[in-house]
Amino acid sequence: PHLFCLYQRRDISSWLDRWFPKTPAKSVVALKTPIKVNLVAGKTYRWCVCGRSKKQPFCDGSHFFQRTGLSPLKFKAQETRTVALCTCKATQRPPYCDGTHRSEQVQKAEVGSPL
């Protein structure tokens, strides 16, 4: 192939690696207590997975701008109700809080750091 094409291809793949890392970053602990939110039936929400959003418990695009390779969890509310959404990002039942934030591991972790 033409030298210029080779150069271009490498350029594109390094761009892809930069924005879509092959090894995603770890989620960080955003907060150590859940946030209660009123979900509206039929509405779609994007729960922050990476822990870097400033609009907890929802996504503000930080996963993308900080090139974490992670994506938010999209879910649709089946009914209108108040739920506790996880902010420690260690729940086994995302996006809902399952009490994991009370564990020693989460309590000892630093906010803004991975577990």
Binding site for ligand FES (CB under 6 A): 34, 86-88, 90-91, 97-101
Distance CA 52, CA 56 (A): 9
Query: Of the two residues 39 and 88, which places its CB atom closer to ligand FES in the complex?
Result: 88
CB 67 within 8 A of CB 50: no
- The minimum distance between CB 88 and ligand FES, in angstroms, equals 3
DSSP E strands: which ranges in the chain?
35-39, 44-47, 73-76, 81-85
Query: Of the two residues 25 and 31, which places its CB atom closer to ligand FES in the complex?
Result: 31
Query: Of the two residues 32 and 67, which places its CB atom closer to ligand FES in the complex?
Result: 32
